[in-house]
Amino acid sequence: MKQGLDIFNITDTRRRAITDADNLFWAILPKGSDESSKLSRDVLRVYDKFKDSLDKNMHDFRFSKKLSAVYINPTDKCNASCPYCYVPPAIRKNGRSMNKEELEFILNKIYKHTKSASKKMVIVFHASEPLLVKDVVFSAINKFKNKFLFGLQTNALLLTKKDVDFLIKHRVGVGISLDSQNSKINNRLRSGNFNQVNKALKWFNGYAGLNVITTVTKYNVRGLEKLVRFLHKKKVSCILLNPVRLTQKYSRKLKPDQELLAREFLKAVDTAIDLTINSKRPIIIANFANIILGIVSPFARRLMCDISPCGGGRCFFTITARGEMIPCGEFIGIRDSSGGNIFRDSITKAIESKPFKSVRGRFVEKIEECDICTFRNICGSPCPAELHAMDRFNKKAVFCEFYKKIIQHAFKLIAQGKEKHALRKDILGNLKYEYQL
Amino acid sequence: MKKKVVKNKKQNRQKFDNATVAYRLKCAKTGNGLSHFVMYGDAPKDQSPV
């Protein structure tokens, strides 16, 4: 494995970066500076001073088992049929739904397990479509509003103005699925939710707890920049542009070309930065913001997919509508991934189960190519569920080349002093310098 | 006037090209910077609508 400081040229700049891939120390230098220059000596002095604490903090961050969120699928059923869904069609069609008593039992059990934690646990109602059991979900939010922070991921097909008022009133973080500003393309991918999402965005009227999630496939990859402009006009301040997960066989046909994906994704990132600088309304691409954070403040990262090992079965897990505890929702269609059933077993048992340990046991030092990659702890080589389904569990990320390009771009923005425009203001407000050269 | 702008841009570019940048930020609230996961569940209380 490659250890210590590494040096690389930053694409499209006259700059080079020195990094330690293990603790994510980095410095950006003029291209001409060599190891004996004063600049390099200054950098090495800072590196020597902070290396031990950075190593320790990074190890704690990566390998701690501090639960911070639980995803709950209150129903297996869905009213949409997205062609890349990681929930298998049979489960979406014939699955069961929780009743109020079951959901309350689960929330009480999670609360008892986590009440000594310093922060409120985040509960996210997620796939398939949680609004199919709206009464059950909203009743739980109302009852447990002082015990948890809540999130909800929805395709918006069943969302009403009254629901939106309720969600805003209870400060619920809401993710809405939309794949394109072009209604035809979107409706082909997202089961015709375009008009309903438009209505919902109007109702939310710039609510700060709203984000839009886009699954990027070969069908919508060329429209990401337009989508950013469209959502900015609709007062959306946070978007996730997630490359399609290839967990299910049918989703693999939709994989976008990585070169094209990186180009279009970065066009969208730059557009978001321009809009943020030149208008009064910020808009950020959250999965790119997380890459920037991975460099400038690795322990403040908010998405757990690009940390190694990932957050699945470690910082969060998923409870299916049948009560099965699985490391992450992506594992729902994968056999032998349950760590126990919440109605019978303890959460501790699930956390210590073989399937959970297996996900925690997949990390970049064990993966060929990642073990020598400078960016290994910025991208984290996701995703274990996707790679397990492809019989490549201990191989590098499916979108490795994409990650390399967007991390290069993140370093370029840092070299240009533009990185703060890619981050949410409330995140920046919570950060202070540990060191600065 | 135009020439001056061009010159300033060039100077800024040179300044950027020659500067060294190295820093690390940590969470002011938790000290070690550990932050919980989120996209959901962190709707700021004082910022709605933006």
Q: Taking 90 as the threshold, does the pLDDT of residue A404 lie above it?
A: yes
Give CA separation, A436 vs A26, A235, A240, B20, B22, in Å. Answer: 11, 35, 30, 10, 6
Enter the tokens of residue A318: 């998923």
Q: Taking 90 as the threshold, does the pLDDT of residue B17 lie above it?
A: no
List for chain B the helix, strand, coil content (%; round to 5): 35, 10, 55
Tell me: the pLDDT tens digits for A86-101?
A: 999 999 988 899 999 9
- Per-residue model confidence (pLDDT) at position A428: 77
Where are the extended beta strands (E) located within B1-50?
A: 23-27
Tell me: the pLDDT tens digits for A152-200?
A: 999 999 999 999 999 999 999 999 999 999 999 999 999 999 999 999 9
For residue A43, give the nearest of B20, B33, B34 by CB distance. Answer: B20
Q: Verify whether the Cβ–Cβ distance A27 to B49 is below 8 Å.
A: no
Q: Which residues of A touch B22 (CB under 8 A)?
A: 25-28, 43, 46, 435-437
Q: Which residues of B touch A426 (CB under 8 A)?
A: 44, 47
* In contact, A191 and A157? CB cutoff 8 Å: yes
Residue A161 φ/ψ, nearest 5 degrees: -60, -40
Chain A residue closest in CA terms to B50: A206
Neighbour-count burial of A183, counting CB atoms closer than 10 A to its CB (0-12 exposed, 13-18 middle, 19+ buried): middle
For the segment A368-374, the average pLDDT, to the nearest whole number, is 96
For residue B21, give the nearest of A28, A61, A204 by CB distance. Answer: A28
Q: Which positions ≥6 away from A20 have C-beta within 8 Å?
A: A4, A5, A6, A26, A47, A51, A54
Q: Taking 60 as the threshold, does the pLDDT of residue B34 lie above it?
A: no
For the segment A52-81, the average pLDDT, to the nearest whole number, is 93
Enter the tokens of residue B27: 């969470």
Sign of the four-CA dihedral A225, A226, A232, A238: negative
Q: Verify whether the Cβ–Cβ distance A208 to B43 is below 8 Å.
A: yes
**Helix/strand/coil for A64:** coil
Closest C-alpha to A127, from A167, A171, A164, A95:
A95
Question: How large is the angle between the packed helices A100-114 and A134-144, nearest 10 degrees?
Answer: 40
Tell me: the pLDDT tens digits for A282-340?
A: 999 999 999 999 999 998 887 889 999 999 999 999 999 999 999 999 999 899 999 99
Tell me: the pLDDT tens digits for A255-268?
A: 999 999 999 999 99
Sheet holding A238-243, edge to edge: A284-285, A238-243, A210-216, A173-177, A148-154, A121-125, A69-72, A316-319, A325-326
Closest C-alpha to A61, from B32, B31, B41:
B32
* In contact, A124 and A167? CB cutoff 8 Å: no
* In contact, A389 and A248? CB cutoff 8 Å: yes
Prediction pTM value:
0.92
Length of chain B: 50
| Burial track B3-35 (b if 16+ CB lie within 10 A, e otherwise) | eeeeeeeeeeeeebeeebbbebbbbeeeeebbb
Closest C-alpha to A430, from B49, B20, B38:
B38
Tell me: the pLDDT tens digits for A213-261?
A: 999 999 999 999 999 999 999 999 999 999 999 999 999 999 999 999 9
User: Between A300 and A276, whose confidence is greater?
Assistant: A276
- Per-residue model confidence (pLDDT) at position B36: 42
| Burial track A193-202 (b if 16+ CB lie within 10 A, e otherwise) | bbebbeebbe
pLDDT, mean over chain A: 94
Tell me: the pLDDT tens digits for A129-151?
A: 999 999 999 999 999 999 999 99
For the segment A69-94, the average pLDDT, to the nearest whole number, is 93
* In contact, A175 and A151? CB cutoff 8 Å: yes
Question: How large is the angle between the packed helices A258-278 and A400-415, nearest 10 degrees?
Answer: 30
- Per-residue model confidence (pLDDT) at position A53: 94
Share of chain A above pLDDT 70, in %: 98
How does residue B15 score in pLDDT terms, banded at 50, 70 and 90?
Answer: low
Cβ atoms within 10 Å of A230's Cβ, excluding its own: 18
Q: Which residues of B touch A34 (CB under 8 A)?
A: none
Q: Taking 70 as the threshold, does the pLDDT of residue B2 lie above it?
A: no
Give A299's Cβ-side CA count (13 Å radius).
30
A114 strand-pairing partners: none
Neighbour-count burial of A420, counting CB atoms closer than 10 A to its CB (0-12 exposed, 13-18 middle, 19+ buried): middle
Range with lowest mean pLDDT among A196-205, A381-390, B15-24? B15-24
User: Between A137 and A127, whose confidence is greater?
Assistant: A137
Q: Verify whether the Cβ–Cβ distance B17 to A316 is below 8 Å.
A: no
- Per-residue model confidence (pLDDT) at position B49: 40
* In contact, A344 and A356? CB cutoff 8 Å: no
Q: Taking 70 as the threshold, does the pLDDT of residue A36 lie above it?
A: no
| Sequential DSSP letters for A330-396 | GGTTSTT----BTTTS-HHHHHTSHHHHHHHT--GGGSTTGGG-TTHHHH----HHHHHHTT-TTS-
